[in-house]
Amino acid sequence: NAGVTQTPKFRVLKTGQSMTLLCAQDMNHEYMYWYRQDPGMGLRLIHYSVGEGTTAKGEVPDGYNVSRLKKQNFLLGLESAAPSQTSVYFCASRSHLDGYTFGSGTRLTVV
Amino acid sequence: GNSVTQMEGPVTLSEEAFLTINCTYTATGYPSLFWYVQYPGEGLQLLLKATKADDKGSNKGFEATYRKETTSFHLEKGSVQVSDSAVYFCALPHNFNKFYFGSGTKLNVKP
């Protein structure tokens, strides 16, 4: 099925460890996004990309980096994980004319 | 700038009750408006949308009408089911790059 695929689905990290979350979409969408969802905070935009090779900061970019080397992939990196980064992370993509398609999420716990 | 305000939840209803979840917006121009639904443990899914004033979006028995006069896009369903229990998000584009999401309204439907 076409859509947005996120890997991994679950991960536990120790403080200071690094990891990369992968998002892949097969709909040829130009725009891709990384959000985090925390209880009582709704969705907050971390970084986004308007096309291959481009990235931009969202509302809460600190502690994260992203790359969009290929149009279909958008990677979110945590260089040195902190407990405050415990959250559920959602990737999304969209075309210029339509709404978002979301992945099923990555539940990250930093201990 | 563009923004949305949703009614706070949780909303608890009995099966077959009538549902209204309020959403009001502030926007420059007349952007498309969206409702997303998030079932437990899943990502957000597009529920319905309306692209211009007086349009009615509908899907799975849910409806919402784009009201320019009252800057509202309230979500309604005539008879809710237990399977409708989820979190509902109102959303609109900030610009062509990104969306604003409301804070979400949790719906609990009891048998």
Q: Look at A106-110, B1-5, B92-96, B101-105 and tell me which has the smallest mean pLDDT.
A: B92-96
Residue type, A9: K
Looking at residue A39, what is its pLDDT? 82
Reported as a pLDDT band with limits 50, 70 and 90, residue B29 is: confident
DSSP A81-103: --GGG-EEEEEEEE-SSS--EE-
- pLDDT tens profile B58-70: 999 999 999 999 9
State whether residue A101 sits within 8 Å of chain B by CB: yes
Nearest CA in chain A to B43: A104
Is A12 touching B (CB cutoff 8 A)?
no
Look at residue B64 in the predicted model and tell me its pLDDT: 97
Query: What's the pLDDT band for B3 if we cut at 50, 70, 90?
Result: confident
Q: Each residue of A35-90: pLDDT tens digit?
A: 999 987 788 999 999 999 999 999 899 999 999 999 999 999 999 999 999 999 99
DSSP 8-state class, residue A64? -
- The single residue listed with the structure tokens 């420059």 is B28
The answer for residues whose C-beta is within 8 angstroms of residue A40's C-beta and 6 or more apart is none
How much is the mean pLDDT over chain B? 92
Asked if the Cβ–Cβ distance from B99 to A96 is below 8 Å, we say no
Nearest neighbour of B98 by CB, restricted to A45, A96, A103: A45
Q: How confident is the model at residue B96 (pLDDT cuts 50, 70, 90)?
A: low
Which helix (H) or strand (E) segment holds residue B75: the answer is strand B75-77
Closest partner residue to A42 among B43, B98, B101, by Cβ?
A: B101
Nearest CB among B32, B44, B102 relative to A102 is that of B44
Q: What are A50-57's contacts with CB under 8 Å, separation 24+?
A: A50/B97, A56/B97
Provide the percentage of residues in chain B whose pLDDT is more than 90.
Answer: 71
Q: Write down the residue that tokens 């992939």 correspond to.
A: A73
Written as six digits, the tokens of A27 are 């709909």
Distance from CA of B70 to the nearest CA of A (A): 23
How many residues in chain B? Answer: 111
3-class DSSP state of B99: strand
Q: Which residues make Cβ contacts (< 8 Å) with residue A31, sequence separation at least 6?
A: A48, A49, A50, A51, A93, A94, A95, A96, B97
Of residues A4, A3, A6, A1, the one with CA closest to residue A88: A6
* Residue pair A33/A21 in contact by the 8 Å Cβ criterion: no
Confidence check: pLDDT of A96 > 80: no
The minimal CB distance from A50 to the residues B34, B97, B99 is found for B97
Contact A50 B104 (CB under 8 A): no
The verdict on a CB contact (< 8 Å) between A43 and B101 is yes
User: What whole-number distance in Å separates Cα of residue B5 and Cα of residue A54?
Assistant: 31
* CB-based contact B89 A42, cutoff 8 Å: yes
* CA trace torsion A31, A37, A42, A44 (10° rounding): -40
Query: Which residues, numbered 82 to 101 in chain B, qualify as contacts with chain A under a Cβ-Cβ cut-off of 8 Å?
Result: 89, 91, 96-99, 101
Residue A1 has pLDDT above 70, yes or no: no
